[in-house]
Homo-oligomer: A and B are copies of this chain.
Amino acid sequence: MKHLKSWVEVPDNSDFTIYNIPFGVFKTLEITPRLGAAIGNYVLDLAYLADHDYFSMISPLNKKVFHSKYLNEFMALGKPITNAVRLAIIDLLSESNPKLQEHTLDRKQALIPIEQVTMLLPIDVKNYTDFYSSKEHATNVGVMFRDPENALLPNWSYIPIGYHGRASSVIPSGTMIQRPKGQIIPQGENEPILAPTKALDFELEMGFITGKSNMLGTSIQMEDAEDYIFGMVLLNDWSARDIQKWEYVPLGPFLGKNFATSISPWVVTMEALEPFRTAGPIQIPEALPYLAYSENKNYDIHLSVDLKTECSNKKTICNTNFKYMYWNMCQQLVHHTINGCNIQVGDLYGSGTISGKDSGSYGSMLELSWNTTKPIALGNGITRTFLEDGDTIIMKGYAEKDTIRVGFGEVNTTILPTN
């Protein structure tokens, strides 16, 4: 890849290098919600740039999309256009390009220090599907709750198992969540009570977002699947294990999950992630022909979870990698539409909890504390099995190769007491 350097200062280890250029939606005290791109510690006001003809070489391009509250209309323009916009931004930010760099007024107006902006939910979430595609996670859950000898259910190895989640409660990083209440069975009892969950958990996931729709009754083929995927975010699939446990048979998780799903505000494009493709695990049994794929469809993305409590400093409790996923995003999408189900621009798809092989790489408190049997030490004598009020979960993710770094920022969420 060509070496790139921006005239905007990009700190070492910044997630938002010139190789990245993620898209998001922001506002400031003066500026109404609109589309932005991140570079170093700045947000580039794309509506301002469009209005001042910085994208005039891209045609057709409706400038109004940059003034939207969501990325949906922009994504719907299609990859030829959205990629051209991203490349135009990279060009504009390159140190050899004087156009914006030397235009004092536009530079001042368009480049906003990141601490002055509020990042908003980047997409109008049309449908939210959550998969269950980490073999390690599915195995851990099976060992704990079913049969250690037959931890994986028979269908798991054939189907990228998924279910529909709640679109309305997807929230951006920074939005605090309340501890949900619900029906739970007190220990040693048979009948439920209504109470705040005692088993509040995070699930470390990544989400992908579709920027293209198919018609109801048609299926997306493997060779076309990538064209539908606009980009990715970090995703925290909040879970109340005691509510979930009591309710989920036979129709799946409902109130144990749908009180909140947090995502990172910057959508990293698949084009920015291109250098980080890697091979996925060998699938045995072989996937059915409609799920067969060639070339690398996994991505080498380092992921971590920090836990901060009111009485202890931030501590990293999980380090894992998105490359461990058994079922890849294209397989998930192809499977999702094999029955003719129609996907929409702005649909969000969670990967499922991303766990690695060793216990420091598990993507949930349930697994990290092995269902409360191994409390996690956080320093100052503080331990956790599940999460307490006032705790903050911070998920981060980045990809790095040679001198290229592309990151996701974070999804940061603090837990408030029950209302």
On whether the beta carbons of A253 and B251 are closer than 8 Å, the reply is yes
- CB under 8 Å from chain B, chain A span 212-236: 216-219
- Chain B hits for A162, CB < 8 A: 251, 254
- A246-B155 in contact given A338-B194, A338-B255, A339-B240 (Cβ < 8 Å): yes
State the copy count for this chain. Answer: 2
Minimal Cβ-Cβ distance residue in B for A171: B216
Judged by a CB distance under 8 angstroms, whether A166 is at the interface is yes
Give the shortest distance, in Å, between A415 (CB) and chain B (any CB): 12
List A residues 266-323 near B (Cβ within 8 Å).
285, 288-290
Chain B residues in 8 Å Cβ range of A14: none
CB distance from A95 to the nearest CB of B (A): 44
A163 with B218: CB separation less than 8 A: no
Interface contact A247-B159, CB-CB below 8 Å: yes
Contacts of A190 in B (CB 8 A): 154
Across the interface, do B289 and A194 meet the contact criterion of CB distance under 8 Å?
Answer: yes
Size bin of chain A's contact surface: 35 or more
Interface pair A248/B250, CB less than 8 Å apart? yes
Complex alpha-carbon distance, A259 and B159, angstroms: 17
Q: Does A243 reach chain B (CB closer than 8 Å)?
A: yes
Q: Does A59 contact B (CB under 8 A)?
A: no
In the bound complex, residues from chain B placing their C-beta under 8 Å from that of A109 are none
Instruction: Say whether, besides A217-B178, A336-B255, A169 and B342 are in contact (CB < 8 Å).
Output: yes
Closest Cβ of chain B: how far from A155's Cβ, in Å? 6
Instruction: Identify which of residues 165-200 in chain A touch chain B, using a CB-to-CB cut-off of 8 Å.
Output: 165-169, 171, 177-178, 180-183, 190-194
Q: A167: nearest residue on chain B (CB-CB)?
A: B127
> Does any Cβ of B come within 8 Å of A252's Cβ?
yes
A168 neighbours in B (Cβ, 8 Å) = 126-127, 216, 341-344, 347
Q: Let me know if B216 and A340 touch, CB within 8 A.
A: no
Contact bitstring A331-359, B, C-beta under 8 A = 1, else 0: 00001101111111001000000000000
Instruction: Return the CB mask of A81-114 against B: 1 if under 8 Å, else 0.
Output: 0000000000000000000000000000000000
Q: How distant is the Cα of A255 from the Cα of B343 in the complex, in angstroms?
A: 13
| A178-B285 Cα distance, complex, nearest whole Å | 30
Q: Which residues of B contact A344 (CB under 8 A)?
A: 168
Task: Give the distance in Å from the alpha carbon of A251 to the alpha carbon of B237 in the complex.
Answer: 14
| Chain B neighbourhood of A216, CB < 8 A | 168-169, 171, 259-260
A167 B126 Cβ-Cβ under 8 A: yes
* Min CB–CB distance A193 → chain B (angstroms): 7
User: A338 contacts which of B158, B182, B250, B252 (Cβ < 8 Å)?
Assistant: B182
Q: Given A164-B166, A253-B252, check contact A340 B419 (CB 8 Å).
A: yes
Residues of B within 8 A of A258 (CB): 164, 339, 341
A124-167: CB near B (< 8 Å → 1, else 0) gives 00110000100000000000000000000111001101111111
How far, in angstroms, from A247 to B154 measured CA to CA in the complex?
10
For the complex of A and B, list the 8 residue pairs with the smallest distance between their C-beta atoms, beginning with the closest: A252-B252, A180-B339, A164-B164, A163-B251, A251-B252, A259-B339, A255-B339, A178-B217
A-B contact pairs, 16 of them (CB 8 A): A127-B166, A155-B192, A155-B249, A161-B247, A163-B251, A168-B343, A181-B338, A181-B340, A182-B339, A194-B290, A217-B259, A217-B419, A249-B250, A250-B252, A255-B336, A258-B339
Q: A159-B183, A168-B342, A192-B288 are in contact. List 4 more A-B contacts (CB 8 A).
A: A126-B167, A168-B347, A249-B250, A255-B338
